[in-house]
Structure 1
Amino acid sequence: MTTTATASQPTCDAEQSEVLKPIEQYFLGHARDDAAPMRLAFLPTAHIESMRDGVFTSWPLDVYCERFKGTPAADEADRRRTVDWIDIGGLSAAAKITLVHGPVTFTDYFVLLKTADGWKIANKAFHGRPS
């Protein structure tokens, strides 16, 4: 399954469409460099985690959102964001996302939970590599 924040959605069932909603907010947050859509996409307790130069990093959502300043990247029109796959198991789901952001390609893995407010990203683990 491949989708972007601006392209039409692929054919998928109703639950997959619901799982895509926070992912679309995440894509929008990146596109606009805006923390507001990120806060809609993630649970407030979410952590964003990675290994950087052999060092484990774990940011709470508030720290992650500080990175967004409201100034889209100069190369935003050339950036690509795709959903590689979604796997749903009851009230939990996982998704693999690829983001091609200029010289770096990121692979994001999301754990999502279905809450009273709909699907939310509970945690994100990611890896960046040269494009």
Structure 2
Amino acid sequence: MTTFNDEQLAALEPVHNYFQGHAQDNAAFMRQAFLPSAHIESMRDGVFTSWPLDVYCERFKGTPAADEPTRKRSVDWIEVHGSAASARITLEHGAMKFVDYFVLLKTEQGWKIANKAFHGQAAT
């Protein structure tokens, strides 16, 4: 188990909101986690995809996935330098594994995810 210092734990607060958003299928947690200007980006079938936060939040309908009890989410690492941080997390959702990279900023409202880039693939 990874041990984080106090500075890292503070920067991980929005990541925990992000985890709750996924677990509860609840956009309100995502809005707490991300800056309003955030984009969620990936390459899907060779095509660049960039969703603003509002479009991303439309995916969450308030109905947790049937396999939610078996899903896993973990923080692989986080690096903090002053008011900026980056983190990598892994999500295992059934047959899919996602690796998310976050850029985080410390704002007047606390730490927020500024942007997310991710890769999804079939779990092995």
Report the Cα offset of residue 34 of structure 1: 0.3
Report the Cα offset of residue 100 of structure 1: 0.1
Counterparts in 2 of 1:47-126, with a 5 A limit? Answer: 47-126=39-118
The one-letter amino acid paired with 1:120 is K
**Cα separation, 2, equivalents of 1:108 and 1:21:** 16
**Cα separation, 1, equivalents of 2:12 and 2:103:** 12
TM-score, scaled to structure 1: 0.92
Q: Which runs of 5+ in 1 are unaligned?
A: 3-10
**Cα separation, 2, equivalents of 1:52 and 1:17:** 31
Report the Cα offset of residue 12 of structure 1: 2.4
Please give the secondary structure, in 2, of the residue aligned with 1:85. strand
Please give the secondary structure, in 2, of the residue aligned with 1:83. strand
Please give the secondary structure, in 1, of the residue aligned with 2:12. helix
The one-letter amino acid paired with 1:104 is M
Moved over 6 A (4+): none
Identity fraction in percent: 70
TM-score, scaled to structure 2: 0.97
Root-mean-square deviation (Å) = 0.9
Aligned residue number for residue 10 of structure 2? 18
**Cα separation, 1, equivalents of 2:70 and 2:15:** 19
Q: Which runs of 5+ in 2 are unaligned?
A: none
Give the count of matched residue pairs: 123
